[in-house]
A and B are shown apart, each in its own frame.
Chain A
Amino acid sequence: MTGPILEIRELRAGYGPRTVLENISMTLAAGDWFVLLGPNGCGKSTLLDCVVSRLPPSGGEIRIAGHSLRTDPYEAKLQLGYGCAPDVLPGLLTARQCLEVHAGAKGMTAIGDDLFALADELKFTAYLESFVDTLSLGTRQKLAVLLALVGDPQLIVLDEAFNGLDPASALVLKRHLRTRIERRRGALLLATHSLDIVEHYADRAAVLIDGRLKHAWSKDELQQLRANGGDFEAALAEAIGEPES
């Protein structure tokens, strides 16, 4: 696979008459950890919903690993892993059954050992037989991320995936994701407010304001910022045109 893992061209989306995203274009190459930043209500989750097929866009094109989400959704979704919000998970299925459904939908015959190793590292294995409605927010968050990794997808899409996780688990997960996308030559699209991820893990980042990509940092720009001991908060404030305090 040499082409981009995710390709978004002139995407437009909204809810009813309200347009939330306007003319969004971006690509994620193999090995990219892409962080999407932006204020509340700017359209980050809407963009992710379009990418994972939860919201049909009103215009534009999304391709995952070369497959169009509109014309070839099955093949596109085979390469996609999405960590949904914890409240979307079915309360009356056990964690094991959620994994079974995800693996079954992807036509797998077994789940890889690396996923169980991660579950062990996240101290999740003990909850495999528990019903989702008895799990705490952080434990559900872990399950949502594990579900996103079922089938070793090329594109991993996570929305605020580190919310509710304890610092140790968050660190384990960040390192695992870094290793996984490098090994798999996949890509990760993460919407977050957490600047420490941009500081330590991201290859590229972009800020979304009022449904438009206002500014994007390339790999080199981020590395330069890191090398200069850069202040990411200041860089973000400058990008969105906020006066520095």
Chain B
Amino acid sequence: MTAPRLAAAKLIRLNRRTHVIVRIVAVLLCLGTLLALFWAERDSVAPALKWLRLHGLLCAALAAIASAFLIARRRALKRAEYARSWLAAVPVRSSTARWESLAIETLPAVAAIGVLGVLSLACALLLALAGANMPGSGRAVIFTPLAIAAYLGGGIAAGIIGSYLVPQPKPVILPPGSRYVPHQRVRRDKGVRPSLRALGAWPVRQMFAWAQPKIVSRASIPILVMMPMGTTADAAMVAIALAGTLGALVLLWSAVIFASRAARGWLAPLPARRGVVIRAFLLPACAVIVAAGATEALLLLVFDVSYRTSALLGACTAAIGCSTVGAALVWNLRPRRAP
């Protein structure tokens, strides 16, 4: 008896084989870009690498803690998923089930170790090629990426073992998206007023539904971490507000695409003119985008950016946002053609 979950995953990958080439090309492009950046910035990267190597143990400890918590979380999620999966009733030997679970739960960690290894080797090769131009050149510098990867990889591996000591997190069950949607209750006696206006509210509501408090709080952690030491609370708040505004814009843009795609099937049998539907979707979304652009300009002003630049950036954001949203709507709501 083979491991059913891994076998199913392999079959799904085989069914999607048309996308494999695209994925490989995308990964190679990312890798190439990273290495090109590394090559371009090699002079300034060397001191950072040196710092990382000096604090290798600290890096390893941080990697171990992060890896332990993430794997424990993944384990809880995968176990809950498996209990509800179509494979839940398939008989599996306990030994097979154990190694299959281990493979599934630790897959991202193992992949991270692999990626670290490849990246460090590539960086070491680049440093060797850079040769005498590097500050503090010599074998020590060339082996620095390998040493850092060893520290981080070791930390991640230790985290895999440590994950069994972390208390099992509660499975996260997200409530329906409408829980977080501001909505004014209509009086019962108020009749139904025929109009397409509700279509415009849909993407804005979708934005609120996606921006659940738990997700927003998690998204703001990296922003807080990126603040340099000594940042004042005022500056931090403005930076968070700016990031929040831009994040809301990205969410709204995705929400318009999502809602217009979903509406296509629902609205197809209705005698609504395409232009009217596009307008119903577009106007509220554009109003929110323009408001976000104005907010962005105000926040930049607080950051001591000049009036002219702030206004220009805000206007650019609004113009780009509105035009891309409009283009997405025109594309998604295009008439269907016979095959």
Q: Which of B197-236 contact A (CB under 8 A)?
A: 197-199, 201-202, 205-206, 209
The reply to whether B206 and A92 contact each other, CB–CB distance below 8 Å, is yes
Q: Which A residues lie within 8 Å of B205 (CB)? A: 92-93
Query: Could you tell me if B273 and A88 are in contact, using CB atoms closer than 8 angstroms?
Result: no
Complex contacts, A55 vs chain B, CB 8 Å: 336
Determine whether the beta carbon of B186 is less than 8 Å from that of A92. Answer: no
CB-based contact B270/A94 at 8 Å: no
Q: Are A89 and B266 in contact (CB under 8 A)?
A: yes
Tally of contact residues, A, Cβ under 8 A: 48
* Inter-chain contacts of A94 with B (CB < 8 A): 183, 186, 198
Determine if A58 and B338 form an interchain contact, defined as CB atoms under 8 angstroms apart: yes
**In-complex Cβ contact of A104 among B181, B195, B259 (8 A):** B195
Beyond A84-B265, A129-B185, is A91–B194 a contact (Cβ under 8 Å)?
no
Known A100-B198, A133-B176; judge A54-B192 contact (CB<8 A).
no
Q: Which of B192, B195, B273 has the most CB of A within 10 A?
A: B192
A101 touches B199 (CB 8 A): yes
Given contacts A54-B265, A96-B186, contact A73 B271 (CB under 8 A): yes
Total contacting residues, chain B, CB less than 8 A: 38
Q: Is the CB of A91 within 8 A of B183?
A: no
Using Cβ atoms and an 8 Å threshold, which residues of chain A touch B186?
94, 96, 129
Residues facing B in A88-146 (CB within 8 A) are 88-94, 96-111, 128-129, 131, 133-134
Is the CB–CB distance between B271 and A78 below 8 Å?
A: yes
Is B31's CB within 8 Å of the partner chain A?
Answer: no
In-complex Cβ contact of A96 among B192, B269, B339 (8 A): B192
Q: Do the beta carbons of B178 and A92 come within 8 Å of each other? A: yes
Bound-state Cα–Cα, A134 to B193, Å:
22
Interchain CB contact (< 8 A) of B270 among A105, A133, A157: A105
- B268 & A104 in contact (Cβ 8 Å cutoff): no
Distance A110 CA – B271 CA, assembled complex (angstroms): 16
CB distance from B285 to the nearest CB of A (A): 14
* Interface residue SS majority, chain A: mixed
Cβ–Cβ contact B183 & A102, under 8 A:
no
* B198 neighbours in A (Cβ, 8 Å): 93-94, 97-98, 100-101
A38 within 8 A of B: no
Provided the pairs A92-B206, A100-B195, A108-B194 are in contact, do residues A53 and B338 lie with their beta carbons within 8 angstroms? no
In the complex, how many angstroms separate the beta carbon of B280 from the nearest chain A beta carbon?
8
Tell yes or no: B191 within 8 A of A by CB: yes
Considering the chains assembled together, what is the distance between the CA atoms of A82 and B206 in angstroms? 25
For B195, give the chain A residue with the smallest CB separation: A104
**Residues on B with beta carbons closer than 8 Å to the beta carbon of A100:** 192-195, 197-198
Given A90-B263, A92-B209, A101-B267, 19 more pairs with CB closer than 8 A:
A56-B337, A77-B271, A80-B271, A84-B266, A88-B266, A90-B266, A94-B186, A102-B270, A103-B195, A104-B194, A104-B195, A105-B196, A107-B271, A109-B194, A110-B194, A111-B192, A128-B188, A131-B176, A157-B269
Which A residues contact B (CB, under 8 angstroms)?
14-16, 52-58, 73-78, 80, 82, 84, 88-94, 96-111, 128-129, 131, 133-134, 157
Closest 9 CB pairs of A and B: A103-B194, A131-B178, A97-B198, A77-B271, A105-B272, A52-B269, A105-B270, A82-B269, A56-B338
A-B contact pairs, 15 of them (CB 8 A): A54-B268, A90-B259, A92-B181, A92-B206, A100-B193, A100-B195, A100-B198, A101-B267, A104-B196, A104-B197, A104-B272, A105-B270, A106-B271, A107-B194, A133-B178
